[in-house]
Amino acid sequence: MTESEIPKEYNANEVEEKWMEKWNLSMYHFNWGEDTRPQYIIDTPPPYPTGNFHIGNALNWCYIDYIARYKRMRGYNVMFPQGWDCHGLPTEVKVEEIHGITKNQVPRAEFRRMCRELTAGNIEKMRKTMLRLGFSVDWSNEFVTMEPSYFVKTQKSFVRMYNDGHIYHEDHPVNWCPRCETAIAFAEVEYESRQTKLNFVHFDKVDIATTRPELMAACVAVAVNPKDERYSQHIGKEITVPIFGQKVTLIADEAVEPEFGTGAVMICTFGDKQDVRWWVKYGLPLVKALDKQGRMTKAAGKYEGMTLAECREAVIADLKAAGFLYDQKSLEQNVGLCWRCDTPIEILSEPQWFVKINHEGILKAADEIKWYPEYMKVRLQNWTGTMEWDWCISRQRIFATPIPIWYCKKCGEVMIAEESWLPIDPNENTPKKACACGSTEFEPETDVLDTWMDSSITALHVSGWESEHELRLPSQIRPQGHDIIRTWAFYTILRSLALEGKRPWDSIVINGMVLGPDGHKMSKSLGNVISPEEVTTQYSADAFRQWGAVGGSTGSDVMFRWKDVVSASRFLQKMWSIYRFSMSHLKDFEPADAENFSLNSLHTIDRWLLSKLNRLVETATKELDDYQFDSTFKAIRGFAWEILADNYLELVKGRLYGEDPEGRKAAQYVLYTTTRTLSLLLAPFIPFFAEEMYSRFSEESVHTQAWPVVDESLISEEAEAAGEMIKEITGEVRRYKSDLGMALNAPLKKIEIYNAEIDTGDIAGATNSEVGLMAGAPSFEYVPVEVKPNMGFLGPRFRKEAGAVVKALQAEDPAAIEAQAASGKITVTVNGEAVEIEPEAVEVRKEVISGGREVDVLDVKGAVVLIVR
């Protein structure tokens, strides 16, 4: 083989930068045309373009890249597209912060321009990080949700779902964030345990307990449990609400817990989800005491204009002053917060757009999808089972896909855009036809679509929906985090069913979250955030990717620890040493030599290694088919370090440096095959390193090569058993030398091996000694050669006389002392007197004599190894 100079140390950054420049990224492009290969379309998560491709993103993309690279090598036509989910609150909030404005202080079009400008710059930054990490993205299938070429599909999906009856417009209670001034879906509500006060208040016939006294103006009923005898005489009667004075009815409902508080509760519009249920069930009136900015309305009387916190404080003070508030107790409460700004959400009744939830269809589709790991499916099932309200898809923001709707000023009818008009912004364009009533004057819909309406059609988009290509749904896999199962996974299944009647993907693989080095979720406030760039700068992209592979199994959270990256970097150096040594012995070995090599020339240890190698290929293939990245990489690393480096290379050095051309050629063949195979096995995980390895085998890229195929004929238990014996004997002899302080290449007089049928040539080479395979069993005897007194025993007993006793023992014949010890007592003469000593006071050292020679005996898995000294 021709060999360019291989440096002693592996320079990761130099190698990685070289291949970043050299790689032709078109080798990762999906072929939309006729292709004999089976398709493998990945429904890649489109991240928010924050400009910071954080470590959680990076872990997710590592998983995707392992899959994409592996599947290409397995012969699939792979699409690994990259999308950018541009719309939504994070971008708007950042723009407001950067420009020191609110969204309402500049024209809509200007605000959208600011958002697009920020987003485009952030995308560019994140693209660079992704390229630096070696992700094999198909950039020819990149999509950006803020571009008309993408959001036209979001609008088309809206129009079709509206026309098919999946979408409706209704005044309905929704979760509302007063800070962001928009509705949010239940899936976007996060919960946190907070301390509050439970207030005990006298009403005129009952006492109630409430955590929301500020909503008493919106009290429309009081409820008790029908089995609660304390209040049975008042059920159905009117009760006056203190301070505010409205009369409400006392109703009986089994949902009330008699043990909580006083057993009587206010029903307000709306304090929580339970209030909404009761409001619907009993047809109660609607009192809007809170506005969209989180301030009290006219319905609150003298408290109008106050914030919720101000109103609560004022109402409590007034209740106390009037003698209505008689007790307060601390209470821990699960509070719903806005996912973006952590403001407690409220429930307001507003006209909004909703998508109907198809519970049965979603659960059926979830069962048709293969989940990795399987238990993650339960999260989707549980969420689907608890969905009481339809999905609220309208948002009172600006930077998002416009809802293609107008309202007729004359008759109020909805005018929905026709597909041929799309993409369109109703705030900038009018309908291209008159209303059914003849009017041409319209009011545009100013609400925009939830950003999940964009991202929940990614599976459709990447599969060619509404494009010049035929639809290839379902895609093959959705990789995503477990934190967005209830949003992205749930909504994507819902949309694919509604629009095409099909599941979105065949499989879904779930990754966990990345925890900081302290074991906590990464956050700026904790100061435990690590960026991928920090790791690549200090170590390398391949070291980072290795951490991602071995950090944990799919679905589980992964802790980032610098020591794991250091360990990964050390493996790269170790693998480089293995590679460098192997290539130094392959200078005169060509690919044609490998093709023409006769396997009959292999030695036992060669067959042992090739059997282990093929088992590794078998294991890696099976594990990667199940997306078990951690166990796959650990198996590869273990083989390279322990089996190949620590054992095989040591065993074949004799042949590689020796005079036997046939034995050397066999070792070269094994090194060539093993090193080349390892470069292929490593390619999905550490693509830069693998490319550098493979570059000395071929001018083609390792990433265009086929995955190794198992050669069943080379897997042999017999060869492995014989090889293990050779390995173990050699290892024991090397340990023997080390224990005696000998150099490992120092020759021994002779090594004789009994009770083993093995090839001894490689043992001789590895031990630099003559090795004989002997028939029968060895004959040897143990000859006592030295008496070793035990001073720990003799000192305390004989005190001053101990020295004389030791001299007397050492003067005796060791064989005689051994014979006396066997009889139970030892007698020696000290200063003319006989002294009896217990056998445990001495140790008799023996030498092994075989055929008149002094030998040492090693027992290795039933084989007897004699070392002649």
What's the pLDDT tens digit per position in 69-85?
999 999 999 999 999 99
pLDDT digits (tens, 9 = 90+) for 128-165: 999 999 999 999 999 999 999 999 999 999 999 999 99
Distance between CA atoms of 618 and 616, rounded to whole angstroms? Answer: 5
274 within some domain: yes
Q: Could you tell me which residue, 384 or 858, shows the higher pLDDT?
A: 384
DSSP structure class, residue 714? G
Per-residue confidence band for 686, with pLDDT thresholds at 50, 70 and 90 = very high
Q: Could you tell me the CATH number of the domain that includes residue 793? A: 3.30.720
Segment 741-772, tens digit of pLDDT:
999 888 998 998 988 888 888 888 888 889 88
Q: For 696-752, what is each residue's pLDDT tens digit?
A: 999 999 999 999 999 999 999 999 999 999 999 999 999 988 988 999 888 998 998
Domain limit, last residue, from 685, 715, 745: 715
- Regarding whether 680 and 583 lie in a shared domain, the answer is yes
Q: Quick one: pLDDT at residue 4?
A: 63
- Asked whether residue 210 falls in the same domain as residue 158, the answer is no
Note whether 684 and 610 are same-domain residues: yes
- Domain identity same for 585 and 701: yes
Q: Point out which residues pair with 847 in neighbouring strands.
A: 783
Provide the pLDDT confidence category of residue 853 given band limits of 50, 70 and 90.
confident
Q: Which residues have C-beta within 8 Å of that of residue 728, sequence separation ≥ 6?
A: 860, 861
Mark whether 207 and 159 lie in a shared domain: no
Nearest alpha-carbon partner for 362 in 387, 392, 340: 387
Measured on CA atoms in the order 631, 634, 640, 644, is the torsion positive or negative? negative
pLDDT above 90 for 832: no
Q: Per the domain annotation, does 536 fall within a domain?
A: no
Kindly indicate the confidence band of residue 585, based on its pLDDT and cuts at 50, 70 and 90.
Answer: very high
Mean per-residue pLDDT, 90-96: 87
Same domain, 489 and 578: no
Distance from C-alpha of 500 to C-alpha of 495, rounded to nearest angstrom: 8
Last residue of a domain, one of 668, 700, 715: 715
Query: From CA 624, how far away is CA 66, in angstroms rounded?
Result: 9
> What residues are designated binding site?
524
160 shares its domain with 238: no
| Interstrand relation of 771-774 and 750-754 (parallel, antiparallel or unpaired) | parallel
Q: Which residue type is seen at 398?
A: I
Q: How many CB atoms lie within 10 A of CB 134?
A: 27
CATH code, 114 = 3.40.50.620
Residue 852, pLDDT score: 66
Q: What pLDDT sits at residue 611?
A: 98
Q: Is residue 417 part of a domain?
A: no
Residues 216 and 72 in one domain: no
Task: Give the mean model confidence (pLDDT) for residues 6-17.
Answer: 94
Neighbours of 587 (CB within 10 A): 11
Domain contains 315: yes
Residue 461 lies in a domain: yes
Q: Are residues 708 and 785 in the same domain?
A: no
Say whether both 226 and 142 belong to one domain. no
- In angstroms, the CA 596 to CA 766 distance is 28
For 431-464, the pLDDT digits (tens) are: 999 999 999 999 999 999 999 999 999 999 999 9
Domain enclosing residue 262, as ranges = 192-345
Token representation of residue 301: 């009387």
Residue list, annotated binding site for ATP: 524
Q: Are residues 284 and 314 in the same domain?
A: yes
Type of residue at 97: E
From 715, 742, 770, give the residue that closes a domain: 715
Q: What is the pLDDT of residues 460-502, one digit of tens each?
A: 999 999 999 999 999 999 999 998 999 999 999 999 999 999 9
* pLDDT for position 199: 95
DSSP string, 136-204: ---GGG-EETTSHHHHHHHHHHHHHHHHTTSEEEEEEEEEEETTTTEEE-GGGEEEEEEEEEEEEEE-S
Please give the tally of structural domains in the chain: 4
Residue 118, domain member (yes or no) = yes
Supply the mean pLDDT for the chain: 91
pLDDT band at 830 (very low <50, low <70, confident <90, very high): confident
Q: pLDDT tier at 1 (50, 70, 90 boundaries)? A: low
Residues 376 and 504 in one domain: yes
The pLDDT assigned to 800 comes to 85
pLDDT value of position 317: 95
Q: Establish if 835 belongs to a structural domain.
A: yes
Burial class (CB in 10 A: 0-12, 13-18, 19+), 849: middle
- Mean pLDDT lowest among 422-431, 561-570, 837-846: 837-846
Which residues on neighbouring strands pair with residue 267, listed in sequence order?
Answer: 221
550 within 8 A of 542, measured Cβ to Cβ: no
Query: Which of the two residues, 853 and 1, has the higher pLDDT score?
Result: 853
Q: What percent of the chain has pLDDT over 90?
A: 67
Question: In this structure, what token pair is assigned to residue 352?
Answer: 């909004």
In a domain, 416, yes or no: no
Closest CA to 137 of 195, 96, 84: 84
Residue 744: per-residue pLDDT: 87
pTM equals 0.84
Let me know if 441 is exposed, middle or buried by CB neighbors in 10 A (0-12, 13-18, 19+): exposed
Which pLDDT value is given to residue 818? Answer: 83
Alpha-carbon gap, residue 336 to 176, rounded angstroms = 10
Q: What confidence tens digit (pLDDT) does each residue in 293-317 have?
A: 889 999 999 999 999 999 999 999 9
Q: Does 695 or 823 have the greater pLDDT score?
A: 695
SS (H, E, C) 229-293: CCCHHHCCCEEECCCCCCEEEEEECCCCCCCCCCCEEEEECCCCHHHHHHHHHHCCCCCCCECCC
